[in-house]
């Protein structure tokens, strides 16, 4: 799978706070015999700058998911995004039987599921501090986005593009459909840039520092895209004629509030120092 844009060495895992870094109370070399022990502990740390240590603790993908997605730090975001999905699914399934779901019915089901998966792909990266954790989290991020979230978003949007292509209907009848189209198309460019900056050590973009610089823009673009996905979902439930005619004001308010709450909590976790400097 992919390579992290960050080299495995010359990183100071102490320089950033975050749960995937070692705690200052932890022995530098870990417990003897534990997986935190430095491989080849005879290796001399000579040549490392002051405060620099080799962080050899290996993070598996399961471990980064447990730490990033399933820890208590993520509960607020998880509860609110799952509430959004539960409310959306209950609305659709209260209107259409699952055994006889019209094509349209799949759209909100798929888009709300894809949004929850997108949230998971962000949570796993927030924050990672050690090279090993970064690498595993980046793998999970790619599997979730490239393998699940984006294909489901695209399939869900394609259903609506197809339905709006039928005689007597037209595209872009709402801000929801317009912003939704923009974010889905933009996401594919986002994936291309992200992949180019990490696959094959970023060689497609000139490698090294150049690829790392582009990765920062990928991160910034992602944090612009994320609110637009949430906005699309809010508009889907508050603006579209179907949703307004088939749901109570209370339900629409609860869906919008759960989305705004989840987004705010996610954005509060962003480390702005990792974004490119605009000035």
**Alpha carbon distance 137, 145 (integer Å):** 12
Site for ligand HEM in 109-128 (CB under 6 A): 111-112, 115
Please report how close the Cβ of residue 137 comes to ligand HEM at its closest, in angstroms.
23
By CB under 6 A, is residue 184 in contact with ligand HEM?
Answer: yes
Burial class (CB in 10 A: 0-12, 13-18, 19+), 248: exposed
**Alpha carbon distance 222, 219 (integer Å):** 5
By CB under 6 A, is residue 161 in contact with ligand HEM?
Answer: yes
Largest CA distance in the chain: 75
Applying CB under 6 A, which part among 51-59, 95-103, 106-114, 144-152 lies near ligand HEM? 106-114
Applying CB under 6 A, which part among 2-10, 20-28, 35-43, 160-168 lies near ligand HEM? 160-168
By CB under 6 A, is residue 160 in contact with ligand HEM?
Answer: yes
In the block, tokens 């974010």 appear at 183
Closer of 57 and 107 to ligand HEM (Cβ): 107
Site for ligand HEM in 211-270 (CB under 6 A): 229, 232-233, 236-237, 240, 242-243
**Who contacts 24 (Cβ-Cβ below 8 Å, separation ≥6)?**
14
User: What is the DSSP-derived secondary structure letter of residue 211?
Assistant: H
C-alpha 220, offset from chain centre: 12
Residue 232 Cα distances to 3, 24, 179, angstroms: 32, 42, 6
Tell me the site size for ligand HEM, rule CB under 6 A: 29
**Contacts with ligand HEM, residue ranges (CB under 6 A):** 88, 107-108, 111-112, 115, 153, 157, 160-161, 164, 171-174, 176-177, 180-181, 183-184, 229, 232-233, 236-237, 240, 242-243
């Amino acid at each position: 799978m992919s390579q992290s844009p960050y080299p495995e060495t010359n990183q100071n895992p102490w320089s950033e706070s975050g749960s995937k870094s070692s705690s200052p109370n932890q022995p530098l070399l870990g417990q003897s015999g534990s997986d935190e022990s430095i491989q080849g502990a005879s290796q001399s740390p000579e040549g490392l700058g002051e405060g620099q240590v080799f962080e050899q603790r290996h993070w598996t993908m399961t471990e980064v998911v447990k730490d990033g997605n399933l820890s208590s730090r993520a509960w607020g975001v998880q509860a609110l995004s799952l509430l959004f999905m539960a409310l959306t699914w209950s609305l659709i399934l209260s209107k259409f039987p699952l055994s006889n779901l019209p094509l349209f019915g799949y759209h909100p089901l798929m888009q709300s599921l894809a949004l929850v998966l997108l949230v998971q792909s962000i949570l796993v990266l927030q924050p990672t501090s050690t090279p090993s954790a970064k690498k595993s989290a980046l793998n999970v991020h790619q599997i979730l986005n490239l393998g699940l979230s984006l294909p489901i978003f695209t399939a869900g949007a394609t259903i609506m593009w197809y339905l709006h292509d039928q005689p007597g209907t037209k595209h872009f009848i709402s801000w929801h459909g317009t912003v939704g189209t923009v974010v889905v198309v933009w996401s594919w460019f986002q994936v291309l840039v992200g992949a180019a900056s990490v696959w094959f050590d970023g060689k497609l973009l000139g490698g090294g520092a150049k690829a790392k610089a582009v990765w920062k823009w990928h991160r910034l673009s992602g944090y612009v895209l994320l609110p637009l996905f949430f906005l699309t979902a809010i508009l889907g439930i508050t603006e579209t004629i179907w949703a307004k005619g088939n749901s109570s004001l209370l339900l629409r308010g609860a869906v919008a509030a759960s989305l705004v709450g989840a987004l705010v909590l996610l954005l509060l976790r962003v480390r702005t120092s990792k974004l490119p400097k605009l000035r």
